[in-house]
């Protein structure tokens, strides 16, 4: 009869060692001062709006990751297998799409008005999947749409009830 698996024992020893090292480092003043200084620099970066100089770069990397992800998902459906050439094409298309978005002065901030529409679509798709058992597609659509409107109404009511003016 095996008492303890060797891999489990090694993992347990490693976890205990890491926890003990981190707990001693967390209580040291040097670690806490360095951590606090790092957080203050990040806070100052956003508070003083120093990110403005990097806005196009931030937008480019966001759009590149977004489009590369979308194209990699599309490659799986377009081709039976996603090998290296197909993945390379998806990456190049994602980078070029991001470049085109940034060169046409699209920004993350310009897309913010469309976020609620995306959330409404996701809520609708959630209800559409929940009513998978309904045979009639029209009835399934109507039920999903009805419950989406109810969910939106309830969520907006929740946020209106938590308005800042209600808090002291």
Asked if 143 and 115 touch (Cβ cutoff 8 Å), the reply is no
Going from the C-alpha of 134 to that of each of 8, 17, 77, the distances in angstroms are 47, 54, 27
Q: How many CB atoms lie within 10 A of CB 141?
A: 15
pLDDT at 14: 72
pLDDT of residue 124: 94
What is the pLDDT, as a whole number, of residue 65? 93
Ordered by start, the domain boundaries in the chain are 7-48, 53-106, 109-163
pLDDT along the chain (168 residues), means of 10: 57 72 60 73 82 85 92 85 83 93 87 88 92 90 92 83 61
């Amino acid at each position: 009869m095996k008492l303890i698996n060797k891999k489990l024992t090694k993992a347990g020893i490693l976890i205990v060692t890491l926890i003990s090292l981190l707990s001693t480092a967390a209580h040291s003043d040097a670690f806490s001062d360095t951590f606090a200084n790092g957080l203050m620099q990040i806070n100052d970066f956003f508070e003083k709006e120093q990110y403005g100089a990097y806005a196009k770069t931030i937008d480019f990397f966001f759009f590149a990751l977004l489009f590369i992800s979308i194209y990699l998902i599309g490659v799986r459906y377009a081709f039976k297998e996603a090998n290296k050439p197909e993945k390379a094409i998806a990456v190049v298309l994602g980078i070029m799409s991001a470049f085109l978005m940034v060169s046409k002065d699209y920004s993350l901030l310009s897309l913010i008005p469309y976020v609620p529409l995306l959330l409404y679509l996701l809520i609708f798709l959630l209800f559409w999947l929940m009513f998978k058992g309904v045979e009639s597609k029209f009835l399934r659509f109507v039920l999903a749409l009805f419950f989406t409107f109810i969910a939106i109404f309830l969520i907006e009511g929740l946020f209106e009830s938590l308005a800042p003016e209600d808090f002291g």
